[in-house]
Chains A and B, each alone.
Chain A
Amino acid sequence: MTANLRRRKLFSRVFEVLCALAVVVALIPLAMILFYVIKEGAGALNWDFFTKMPKPVGETGGGMANAIVGTLILIGIAALFAIPVGGICGVHLAEYPETKFSSAVRFAADVLNGVPSIVVGIFAYGLVVLPVKRFSALAGGVALGFLMVPIVVRTTEELLRLVPGGLREGALALGATRSRAVFSVIVPAALPGILTGILVALARVAGETAPLLFTALGNRFWSTSLTQPIASLTVQVYTYAQSPYDDWHRQAWAGAFLLVMIILTLSIAARLAVRRLERMNRP
């Protein structure tokens, strides 16, 4: 081995080690965040957290029942319009993948995915809050829905494309129309994957805080009204984290723990669904 080759090999080796090190460096904060969320949050999570209302400032105890219900209502509103719009848009992109129109829409969805959520919040504010001059659950739900649309679009498209081509050809060969083939054969085949994908999208918008600050606002009291400000887990955690009270910090960690658990469970479920579809696709 010449000295030159030895030097090159050594250099290569050093570089490989550095790359492995990068993985470790990135996994440290992940492990630390999960560690703290579990350590501080799991202990603070109790039955009261789910069933009790927040206590007045200074009193300990109480829970986030209103915020949990609030988050569910907010993502319910979001799902109500984001799933049909995003889903059907995804179907269009998967069915007509090569038209100019589809390319433009796909591009728009990707760009929209990169628009900061707080900007989308301002848009929802202008659309829903300003005309009636009142913060409301509806405004928060609309903001989350706008954030959800591009995720649902891309998830649906990707998963529909995983459906084996033979299924579509079979349906068309039997004389099915395009819409029949899509809605009776192709969509059902990808449905488990699409549904979990949608759940992940829901979990992701459930973790949004910024766009809710000036749409749904937050509420220390029980409210399920769509036209009133409503509490949400994330905004509550945000407020509690910035408070000087230890008991509120404890509850903030409990809220974070709940959010992380929901997201972990759903993303694992989604991963399994994709794997199943991919297996189906293999010859």
Chain B
Amino acid sequence: MRRSSDDRSFRLGTGAFAALVLLLVLGIAFELTRQSMLSIAKFGLKFWTTSTWNPVSGDFGALPFIWGTLYSSILALLIATPIALGIAIFISELSPRLLRQPLAYLTDLLAAIPSIVYGLWGVFVLVPFVRKLEVATPDALKKIPLFNGPPLGVGMLAAALILAVMVIPFTSSVAREILKNVPSTQREAAYALGATRWEAIKVAIGFGKSGIIGAVMLGFGRALGETIAVTMVIGNSPQVTASLFKPQYTMAAVIANEFTEAADELYLHALIEIGLLLFIITVAVNIISRLLIWSMKRRVVAPIAAPIVPAEEALA
């Protein structure tokens, strides 16, 4: 009797702490909404579709920031995804056994380097390099809107490159995990039918497709919210342009730069509303990606609560 009551109180006691984690997510959503009410009430949907950002006249439109965030993240994804998947495939399917662990460790290390270090490296190494690249761009190419703009070094291209490097380890470590979970019978069957190595891997990728899409989305979520490194290299100039060379601005960067300057309440609420949207987008992207990864793993393992993040990744 005493035992069962002990078990129950243990379960409830630890459960109360676990509930705090749920509360934290709800708390963030609630607080961010509450603190952006002024801006939501005043601008409504116009906030997302207009480009004026004038703290003096109290006129706020967040379109350039949303543009900058989406554009830089999508560019980063285009660069990072093939590389990250290549790494995952190499480590889990092709690499000699001896190299597997060290390579996994090294690529995971990219995720452990703090954003500020990426930013510092970006400012002093990457940006000068991008500037040289921009100076060397032939004039004929510069007529294309994509390469139009002054050779500043800072700008969309530098931001996309640094984001790509930062996103690679997240995508590749989840994709690696997914490939590891694909039953080897899948590959064996392909080989038995006379498949080449690439064809067998294609079968494995096909089996893990939903999980791999989830891995890519997880990287996308990371890119959307990345702040400091991007702030340091993107140039922080709010404009909606397809140019890779022109400085632009992101949602996270404007919050980082202007939050302490926001003197009046409306200005602050406008910034927090940007934060709220960032929260909603990243939560949505994360939920979709976790569900995709989870559904893939569910197909393989018996439906127990399989760890979504492997221990190695949690410690990376």
Using a CB–CB cutoff of 8 Å, the interface residues on chain A facing chain B are 8-9, 11-12, 15-16, 18-23, 25-27, 29-30, 32-33, 36-37, 40, 84-86, 88-89, 91-93, 95-98, 101-120, 122-123, 125-127, 130, 135, 146, 149-151, 153-155, 157-159, 161-162, 177-179, 182, 196-197, 200, 204, 207-210, 213-214, 217, 234, 237-238, 241-242, 249, 252-253, 256, 259-260, 263-264, 267, 270-271, 274
Q: Which of B169, B255, B260 contacts A217 (CB 8 A)?
A: B260
Instruction: Kindly state the separation between the CA atoms of A218 and B290 in the bound complex, as whole angstroms.
Output: 36
Q: Which of A25, A127, A197, A209 contacts B315 (CB 8 A)?
A: A197
- Give the size range of B's interface with the partner: 35 or more
Q: Which of A18, A103, A153 contacts B21 (CB 8 A)?
A: A153
Contacts of B123 in A (CB 8 A): 241-242
| A159 (CB) vs chain B CBs: closest residue | B311
Contact A127 B31, beta carbon cutoff 8 Å = yes
Contact A274 B315, beta carbon cutoff 8 Å = yes
* B4-24 vs A, Cβ < 8 Å mask (1 yes, 0 no): 001101110111011111101
Q: Is B146 an interface residue (CB 8 A)?
A: no
Contact B20 A85, beta carbon cutoff 8 Å = yes
Contact B110 A29, beta carbon cutoff 8 Å = yes
Chain B nearest Cβ from A234, distance in angstroms = 5
Q: Which of B10, B27, B114, B225 has the most CB of A within 10 A?
A: B114
Q: Which of B13, B25, B119, B315 has the most CB of A within 10 A?
A: B315
Q: Is B117 an interface residue (CB 8 A)?
A: yes
Instruction: Kindly state the separation between the CA atoms of A146 and B228 in the bound complex, as whole angstroms.
Output: 19
Contacts of B10 in A (CB 8 A): 177-179, 182
Contact A267 B315, beta carbon cutoff 8 Å = yes
Which A-B residue pairs are the 6 nearest by beta carbons? A116-B225, A22-B86, A207-B114, A12-B198, A92-B14, A158-B311
Instruction: Kindly state the separation between the CA atoms of A158 and B312 in the bound complex, as whole angstroms.
Output: 9
29 contacting pairs across A/B (C-beta < 8 A)? A18-B86, A19-B86, A19-B87, A22-B84, A22-B87, A23-B103, A26-B107, A30-B106, A36-B121, A84-B17, A89-B21, A97-B304, A97-B305, A107-B287, A111-B283, A114-B225, A115-B225, A117-B227, A118-B256, A118-B278, A126-B272, A154-B307, A158-B311, A179-B6, A182-B10, A238-B228, A259-B114, A259-B116, A274-B315
